[in-house]
């Protein structure tokens, strides 16, 4: 007995085939996207690890330089508000600065003139460093530290910009390079504003808008030590 396919049966079979193909295509797309997402996650984790490693090298160069200083440290840094992972390094640097200060090392840092740089600036100031704010540093992307006029620590971001995290650091023994950066530093140092004066300006402006704001609230908002805030409030 011969089996004859009617037009309606053929249409039904075609619909089933199309449905199977559609489901198969959907499954392939989902799997592809999952695989792509997994690759993206893996790449991001690798890049994140690379950033941590390279920044760690820079911080190690800075800390090694501070530990080896015997008379003078001068540096120009971004002072950007640190992330949690960078804050640990900032605290380590602060501790080494305190030790260097106890040895009689003269420490000076230049920071871009911006209120969001107060946190790092005050941490270093509390460690015994003289800190000044310079508006011109907002367009400078190189970070440097001159040690005993003999060594230079250079830090470079991954791309241009003062807020870009430092990716690589180098400790270079060179009297000539140290002299060049020292000349640049001294010129900007004489043009810069003392940390306490700048903090006083910021606090005075905040008090103008809210005369009842407390020292603890100011300390919390600016992320600076409360004792520094209290001393400045006494002079306003």
pTM of the entire predicted model: 0.73
The residues, any chain, with a CB within 8 Å of residue 211's CB and separated by 6 or more, are none
pLDDT > 90: percent of the chain: 44
> What would the pLDDT profile of 193-205 be if each residue is shown by its tens digit?
999 999 999 999 9
pLDDT at 75 over 70: yes
Cα–Cα distance measured from residue 118 to residue 196, given in angstroms and rounded to the nearest whole number: 10
pLDDT > 70: percent of the chain: 70
CATH 3.30.870.10 fits 49-191, yes or no: yes
pLDDT level of residue 172 (50, 70, 90 thresholds): confident
Question: What are the boundaries of each domain within the chain?
Answer: 49-191
> What would the pLDDT profile of 41-56 be if each residue is shown by its tens digit?
654 554 455 444 466 7
pLDDT at 96 over 70: yes
pLDDT score at 35: 65
Comparing 20-34, 57-71, 164-178, the range with the smallest average pLDDT is 20-34
């Amino acid at each position: 007995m011969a089996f004859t396919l009617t037009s309606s049966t053929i249409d039904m079979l075609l619909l089933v085939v199309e449905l199977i193909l559609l489901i198969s295509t959907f499954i392939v797309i989902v799997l592809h996207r999952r695989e792509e997402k997994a690759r993206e996650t893996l790449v991001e984790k690798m890049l994140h690890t690379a950033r941590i490693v390279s920044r760690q090298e820079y911080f190690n160069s800075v800390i090694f330089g501070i530990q080896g200083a015997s008379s003078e440290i001068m540096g120009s840094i971004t002072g950007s508000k640190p992330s949690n992972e960078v804050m640990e390094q900032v605290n380590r640097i602060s501790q080494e600065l305190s030790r260097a200060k106890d040895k009689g090392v003269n420490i000076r840092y230049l920071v871009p003139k911006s209120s969001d740089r107060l946190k790092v600036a005050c941490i270093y100031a509390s460690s015994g460093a003289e800190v000044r704010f310079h508006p011109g540093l907002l367009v400078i992307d190189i970070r440097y530290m001159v040690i005993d006029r003999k060594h230079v620590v250079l830090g470079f971001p991954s791309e241009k910009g003062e807020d870009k995290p430092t990716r690589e650091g180098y400790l270079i023994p060179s009297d000539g390079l140290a002299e060049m950066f020292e000349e640049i530093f001294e010129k900007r140092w004489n043009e810069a504003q003392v940390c306490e004066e700048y903090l006083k300006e910021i606090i005075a402006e905040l008090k103008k808008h809210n005369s009842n704001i407390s020292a603890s609230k100011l300390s919390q908002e600016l992320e600076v030590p409360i004792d520094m805030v209290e001393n400045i409030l006494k002079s306003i």
